[in-house]
Structure 1
Amino acid sequence: MSTLPDPAQHRKVDHAIEPLIYRRWSPRALSGEAITDEEMLTLFEAARWAPSTYNEQEWHFLYARRDTPQWPAFFGLLMKDNQTWCQHAAMLVVILSHKVFSKNGKPNPVHLFDCGSAFENLALQGTAMGLVVHGMAGFDFERARRELQVPDDYDIAAMFAVGRPGDPEQLPEKLRQMEVPSDRRPVQQSIQEGRLSETLTLNPTTGGYENHHHHSGNSRGAAACKHQRAAHELCPSARGGERTLSDSKA
Structure 2
Amino acid sequence: MTEDFEVPDGKRAESSVPLHPLLAARWSPRALDPDAELDDARFRALFEAARWAPSWGNTQPARYLAGRRGEATFDRIHGTLSRGNRGWAESASALAIGVARTLDDEGEPLPYGEYGVALATQNLVLQAVAEGLVAHQMAGFDRDAVRAEFDVPAGFDPVVAIAIGLPGSAEGLPDRLQEKERAPRSRRALAELVFTDRWGAPRF
Give the structure-1-normalised TM-score. 0.72
Residue 73 of structure 2 is matched in structure 1 by 70
Backbone CA RMSD of aligned residues: 2.1
| 1:122 aligned counterpart, secondary structure | helix
Q: Which amino acid aligns with 1:16?
A: P
1:123–1:73 Cα change, 3 Å: same
Q: Does 1:116 align with 2:118?
A: yes
Q: Taking every aligned residue pair, what percent have the same amino acid on both sides? A: 36
Residue 134 of structure 1 is matched in structure 2 by 136
> Which stretches of structure 1, 4 residues or more, deviate above 4 A after TM superposition?
none
Runs of 5+ consecutive residues of structure 1 not aligned to the other structure:
197-210, 213-250
Residue 49 of structure 1 is matched in structure 2 by 52
Runs of 5+ consecutive residues of structure 2 not aligned to the other structure:
1-5
1:16–1:62 Cα change, 3 Å: same
CA–CA distance in 2 between the matches of 1:194 and 1:118?
32
CA–CA distance in 1 between the matches of 2:44 and 2:60?
17
Equivalent of 1:25 in 13, 24, 27: 27
Residue 157 of structure 2 is matched in structure 1 by 155
Alignment size in residue pairs: 194
Greater shift, 177-186 or 113-122, is seen at 177-186
Once the two structures are superposed, what CA deviation does each residue of 1:101-155 show, in whole Å capped at 9, x if it has no partner?
34x5431221111110100111011111211110001111111111111112011
Residue 188 of structure 1 is matched in structure 2 by 191
Alpha-carbon offset, residue 4 of structure 1: 6.2
CA–CA distance in 1 between the matches of 2:128 and 2:115?
20
Contact 1:7–1:25 (8 Å) recurs in 2: no
| 2:177 aligned counterpart, secondary structure | helix
| 1:170 aligned counterpart, secondary structure | coil
CA–CA distance in 2 between the matches of 1:181 and 1:27?
12
Q: How does 1:6-17 map to 2 (within 5 A)?
A: 6=9, 11-17=13-19
CA–CA distance in 2 between the matches of 1:124 and 1:174?
27
| 1:168 aligned counterpart, secondary structure | coil
CA–CA distance in 1 between the matches of 2:98 and 2:169?
27
CA–CA distance in 1 between the matches of 2:86 and 2:10?
25
Q: Which amino acid aligns with 1:139?
A: F
Alpha-carbon offset, residue 192 of structure 1: 2.5
| 2:72 aligned counterpart, secondary structure | coil
Equivalent of 1:83 in 68, 73, 86: 86
Once the two structures are superposed, what CA deviation does each residue of 1:26-69 show, in whole Å capped at 9, x if it has no partner?
00111112100111001111111100111111100101221122
Contact 1:4–1:167 (8 Å) recurs in 2: no
Give the structure-2-normalised TM-score. 0.87
Q: Which has the larger radius of gyration?
A: 1
CA–CA distance in 2 between the matches of 1:74 and 1:83?
10
CA–CA distance in 2 between the matches of 1:181 and 1:45?
31
CA–CA distance in 2 between the matches of 1:189 and 1:89?
35
